[in-house]
Structure 1
Amino acid sequence: MNLLSYLPSGIIILNIIFIILLIFFERKDPTATWAWLLILTLIPVLGFILYLFIGLTPKKRNHFLRKQRENDLKELNFGGETGIMDVDNLDFDDLEKSVIRIGLRCEKPSVVGYNKLDIYTNGRDKFADLFKDIDNAEKFIHASYYIIQDDNLGDEFIHRLAQKAAEGVEVRLLYDKMGCRNLSRYSIHKLEDAGGEAVPFAPFVLDINYRNHRKNVVIDGQIGYLGGINVGNEYLGLSSRFGHWRDTHLRIRGESVDSMQYRFLLDWNFASGKDIKRGEYYFPKKEFEGHSPVQIVSSGPDSKETEIKFFFLKMIYEAEKTIFIQTPYFIPDQSILEALQLASRSGVDVRIMIPGHSDHPFVYGANNSFVGQLLEAGARCYSYSRGFLHSKTISVDSRILSVGTTNMDVRSFKLNFEINAFIYDSEIARGYDEIFLKDIEHSREITTEKYKNRGWTMKVRESISRLLSPIL
């Protein structure tokens, strides 16, 4: 008998075995498990290949567990960070204390430091200051980016780093292998030939998940940059596809730069295989004395807990007046969605702002699907129409503001390596709320009536995207 006749039966048997194994290994995340079961059932062979590329296989899980154990050991080398660990006897209100304690009691405690802050809402202002700070660097420049494009801005960024390396400044560039897939080897060699170091973050070959989504720059241990703006012409608003690019980024001067440095060195050691230890050289006494309390929090697939999501949840549940959220990807898990629904039904002014168009397939449909559920709960939702909204912020009661790399989606909560700053300064939070309200003037409100009257093609798109949302 022809062996090919057994092929369909063999595929079915192997698929059933794989489904059983999947249920066993993914038992901690039933929503993702059901999404993968759907894919494996509908497209058996292709579904298996997709899982190898983007799923959390046992090999990957063990790899992250090893990274977690290595981070625990390296904490002994780095020592503690500057900042406050005891908030009970300090001048924080009850809301601030309740959120701060989440970080102090997480797997990796995050302290509170005092800083001077600058907030950028566009790439031009951010890179004008960043390039000045790079040019003025005297000791070291540590930069981690998810995307560095091979374009004019990318060339200028690499050129300035290479210049400082040639002057004898320590330059280390950590770039995500997938996000920087368009970055040429010429650019990397240019930096290395000048004396700098460049290392790709690539935990697994041919894997499109588990990306280092952090944008984290530390200069001389005195200045830090953190937020949503990557390196590329589109972030300057020069893309014909996206037009004006609305984003949010921070410049931090003060104690919390140590937390950013600590995070960079852990990531660098993991990606490079080297072991840079803590010392006064990388954690110097701070030249700037600010008054804005900041808590730097990071999370990723190597964490036992979803730390940044915990912070978001606590902020939402403790809100009494307002919750303002900007995110390019609004694909929350059930806990975040229900918290926002409950807040809105309790009388809190919940407002969500998403882009008017998406930069990824399926995301626009998924965004709309979840927005519809919030509209039913009484929340107000807006579609930013001036250009592309890439800002990742959440503000509560004009008292606490979070700015960082974390989107309001499952990918950022569980799959990506992220970093956020939580700012406990009512003046800054109020200032950002004014920016949010100004952005509403460039947005279209998504009313319940408009949502109900959407076309059938959008309804189909939403349904498909919603099924795939746990793995988007």
Structure 2
Amino acid sequence: MTWPNSCWRTRPSPARNSCGSSRERRRKPSRKGGADVWKKIFIPRLAFALLAILLQLGLLVGMVLRFQEYFGFFYGGSLLVSAVAVVWILNDRSNPAYKIAWIIPILLFPVFGGIFYLLFGRPDLDNTTKRRMGPIMGKVAESLPREEELLAALKEECPPAAHQARYIRDYAHCPPCDRTEAEYLPTGELKFARLKEVLRKAERYIFLEYFIIEEGVLWDSVLEILLEKAGEGVDVRLIYDDAGCLFTLPERYDRKLEAMGIRCCVFNPLGPVFSLKVNNRDHRKLVVVDGHTGFTGGINLADEYINEYVKYGHWKDSAILLRGAAVWSMSLMFLSMWEYLRREEEDWEAFRPKSMPLGTGEAQGGCVQPFADNPLDGEPVGETVYLNIINKAQRYVHITSPYLIIDSAMASALCNASKGGVDVRIVTPNHPDKKYVHAVTRSYYGMLLESGVKIYEYTPGFIHSKTFVADGLYGVVGTINMDYRSLYLHFECGVWIYRNRALQAMEEDFRALLEVSRPIGMEDVWGTPWYRTLGRFLLRVFAPLL
């Protein structure tokens, strides 16, 4: 596997490698004047929201002071709300660790704990959102083929693969497809190059859905192509998450794009009033061109993802490019979200590809299955797909993830697979993007190492890639982190792969990663100061809230 920045492979320590001087040169021009960007983007967008929230809190405090003689009623009412919240948490279907993480603060702070949970703790969507999105998801299921013949062939060839494919079809409404070419893209730089190539060839429409977009080399180059295509009459649409772009895009950026001819929607806009939906974010990274070519993976549209901007050392990420029948599932992922946000019903059949690239998928074998996950139905599709891969592996499971904040089911699956003789290896970052989250990740090392799981930290910098590959038979590339937010709260997507040539490229990339990653041993766990270990364990209690 050849990476663009090969010097990161030859010397693991970024501080002593020959790229050091170039890293410093790239650091300076990256943010176009950091202080100015901070003033133009962050302060205007957040100041009003913070002021409004402070006014709401001030109003609450003022009411308590004004009606002091009724404080007993207020206190009793708050205790009642907290008690109801605890009973609700105990009886809902959320993850047990998530329940514990909320019950503790409610018991410690009973006056506002229950209210805080009702505002920010609900893991599922509110009923209004469910009522709006329910019919749209039904429309998705009706618009996709069942692929019963392919599932029957899979069952005869490999029953475990057929079971996984059937689960994804039935619970994510996305069928397996065998007429699709898959290309694994091991770096952000390579994905950026492929993306520009594909966008320039668009004839009918371009759909983009991203968690983070930031003005810079990557986005400016993509935007230039989008504007050119919009001018040619191509239907260009963009969805971005408001929280993901809070620090990276100016306020009302969607209106700016609309004025330039790019149709744009903002997912779950942040406002000055407390919202029950603040926890649910659109974490997808999705591109669809003309219904026959699509991208997904961990790479957002910002310069650190292609190492134009050095943020946490060298940024390692990955993506997958699909050409063929399976891309129709990705098209409907976007269109369903667009219809929900825009509140405009469209004829999705009008977006079906008129033709497919010649020879698509014929030489690759196996099948691919794009899938979406969301908090609509309480079904943890992403976690179930991961667990199935771990539980069905016979020789090895190789995983890359920026975060390792796992529940008991995932921890047990990893440990039991290793104890049973499966070679389980996980690569996490050495340079974290969030130190407190990385502290929780490291709190799991001891338990996993004792069970024989091999853990490595990517020494050149930060690894943001989310990949699974097992036995050369199964794999996943997508947006789903191994943490509670991705697995239970966010809108996510990925591609499950079976017996496809892309799996070999994924395994080669993983082997290359090990060359520049430091193996973690029990001596690292034992050498951690007691106060740091205690802090990690305390953070782990509240890991579902991070």
Please, what TM-score do these two structures have when normalized by structure 1? Answer: 0.92
In the alignment, is residue 80 of structure 1 matched against residue 144 of structure 2?
yes
The separation in 2 between residues aligned to 1:267 and 1:24, in whole angstroms, is: 33
Give, in angstroms, the shift of residue 470 of structure 1. Answer: 1.9
The separation in 2 between residues aligned to 1:321 and 1:7, in whole angstroms, is: 66
Q: Over residues 232-287 of structure 1, what are the superposed CA-to-partner deviations in whole Å (9 max), with x where a residue is unaligned?
A: 11111133331211011011101111010011111111111111222154343322
Counterpart of 2:260 (choices 194, 200, 206) is: 194
Counterpart of 1:168 (choices 228, 233, 237) is: 233
The separation in 1 between residues aligned to 2:435 and 2:242, in whole angstroms, is: 21
In the alignment, is residue 367 of structure 1 matched against residue 433 of structure 2?
no
8 Å CA contact 1:150–1:184 kept in 2: the answer is: no
Q: Which residue of 2 aligns with 1:231?
A: 301
Q: Which residue of 1 aligns with 2:97?
A: 31
In the alignment, is residue 278 of structure 1 matched against residue 348 of structure 2?
yes
8 Å CA contact 2:241–2:269 kept in 1: the answer is: no
Q: Which residue of 2 aligns with 1:51?
A: 117
In the alignment, is residue 391 of structure 1 matched against residue 465 of structure 2?
yes
8 Å CA contact 1:332–1:408 kept in 2: the answer is: yes
Partner of 1:268, secondary structure, is helix
Pairs within 5 Å for 1:203-282:
205=271, 208-282=278-352
Q: Over residues 50-69 of structure 1, what are the superposed CA-to-partner deviations in whole Å (9 max), with x where a residue is unaligned?
A: 535532188x4313422442
The separation in 2 between residues aligned to 1:361 and 1:6, in whole angstroms, is: 45
Partner of 2:542, secondary structure, is helix
More displaced, 353-362 or 66-75? 66-75
Give, in angstroms, the shift of residue 73 of structure 1. Answer: 3.9
Partner of 1:147, secondary structure, is coil
Counterpart of 2:221 (choices 137, 156, 168) is: 156
In the alignment, is residue 443 of structure 1 matched against residue 517 of structure 2?
yes
8 Å CA contact 1:172–1:197 kept in 2: the answer is: yes
The separation in 2 between residues aligned to 1:203 and 1:300, in whole angstroms, is: 18
The separation in 2 between residues aligned to 1:366 and 1:46, in whole angstroms, is: 26
In the alignment, is residue 19 of structure 1 matched against residue 82 of structure 2?
yes
The separation in 1 between residues aligned to 2:331 and 2:172, in whole angstroms, is: 19
More displaced, 288-297 or 434-443? 288-297
Q: Residues 117, 61 of structure 1: CA spacing in aligned structure 2 closer, same or farther, 3 A cutoff?
A: same
Larger radius of gyration: 2
The separation in 1 between residues aligned to 2:129 and 2:444, in whole angstroms, is: 31
In the alignment, is residue 332 of structure 1 matched against residue 396 of structure 2?
no
The separation in 2 between residues aligned to 1:185 and 1:321, in whole angstroms, is: 50
Q: Over residues 105-133 of structure 1, what are the superposed CA-to-partner deviations in whole Å (9 max), with x where a residue is unaligned?
A: 43635333432122212212111121121
In the alignment, is residue 102 of structure 1 matched against residue 172 of structure 2?
no
Partner of 2:410, secondary structure, is helix
Partner of 2:279, secondary structure, is coil
8 Å CA contact 1:68–1:303 kept in 2: the answer is: no
Q: Residues 19, 50 of structure 1: CA spacing in aligned structure 2 closer, same or farther, 3 A cutoff?
A: closer
Please, what TM-score do these two structures have when normalized by structure 2? Answer: 0.80
Give, in angstroms, the shift of residue 82 of structure 1. Answer: 8.3
Q: Over residues 3-48 of structure 1, what are the superposed CA-to-partner deviations in whole Å (9 max), with x where a residue is unaligned?
A: 7766875665344222222124332224322211222333456645
8 Å CA contact 2:419–2:451 kept in 1: the answer is: yes
Counterpart of 2:212 (choices 147, 159, 167) is: 147
Give, in angstroms, the shift of residue 414 of structure 1. Answer: 0.7
The separation in 2 between residues aligned to 1:373 and 1:334, in whole angstroms, is: 11
AA at the equivalent of 1:272? R
Q: Residues 276, 3 of structure 1: CA spacing in aligned structure 2 closer, same or farther, 3 A cutoff?
A: closer
8 Å CA contact 2:474–2:499 kept in 1: the answer is: yes
The separation in 2 between residues aligned to 1:23 and 1:47, in whole angstroms, is: 10
Give, in angstroms, the shift of residue 195 of structure 1. Answer: 2.1
8 Å CA contact 2:79–2:110 kept in 1: the answer is: no
Partner of 2:368, secondary structure, is strand
Give, in angstroms, the shift of residue 88 of structure 1. Answer: 2.4
The separation in 2 between residues aligned to 1:6 and 1:430, in whole angstroms, is: 72
Pairs within 5 Å for 1:57-72:
60-72=125-137
The separation in 2 between residues aligned to 1:446 and 1:408, in whole angstroms, is: 19
8 Å CA contact 2:281–2:490 kept in 1: the answer is: yes
Partner of 1:226, secondary structure, is strand
The separation in 2 between residues aligned to 1:254 and 1:239, in whole angstroms, is: 34
Query: Where does structure 1 lack aligned partners over 5 or more consecutive residues?
Result: none
Q: Residues 175, 82 of structure 1: CA spacing in aligned structure 2 closer, same or farther, 3 A cutoff?
A: farther
Q: Residues 46, 385 of structure 1: CA spacing in aligned structure 2 closer, same or farther, 3 A cutoff?
A: farther
Q: Which residue of 1 aligns with 2:418?
A: 344
The separation in 2 between residues aligned to 1:362 and 1:51, in whole angstroms, is: 22
More displaced, 184-193 or 238-247? 184-193
The separation in 1 between residues aligned to 2:375 and 2:219, in whole angstroms, is: 28
The separation in 2 between residues aligned to 1:4 and 1:37, in whole angstroms, is: 29
Query: Where does structure 2 lack aligned partners over 5 or more consecutive residues?
Result: 1-64
The separation in 2 between residues aligned to 1:103 and 1:423, in whole angstroms, is: 12
Q: CA RMSD in A?
A: 2.5
Q: Residues 82, 427 of structure 1: CA spacing in aligned structure 2 closer, same or farther, 3 A cutoff?
A: same
Q: Over residues 153-211 of structure 1, what are the superposed CA-to-partner deviations in whole Å (9 max), with x where a residue is unaligned?
A: 22332332222112211011011111122212575344312322000011774554211
Which one has a larger percent helix, Structure 1 or Structure 2? 2
AA at the equivalent of 1:238? E
The separation in 1 between residues aligned to 2:515 and 2:268, in whole angstroms, is: 41
More displaced, 381-390 or 115-124? 115-124
AA at the equivalent of 2:448? L
More displaced, 384-393 or 151-160? 151-160
Give, in angstroms, the shift of residue 83 of structure 1. Answer: 5.4
Pairs within 5 Å for 1:122-133:
122-133=187-198
The separation in 2 between residues aligned to 1:195 and 1:393, in whole angstroms, is: 35
Q: Residues 264, 57 of structure 1: CA spacing in aligned structure 2 closer, same or farther, 3 A cutoff?
A: closer
Number of residue equivalences = 469
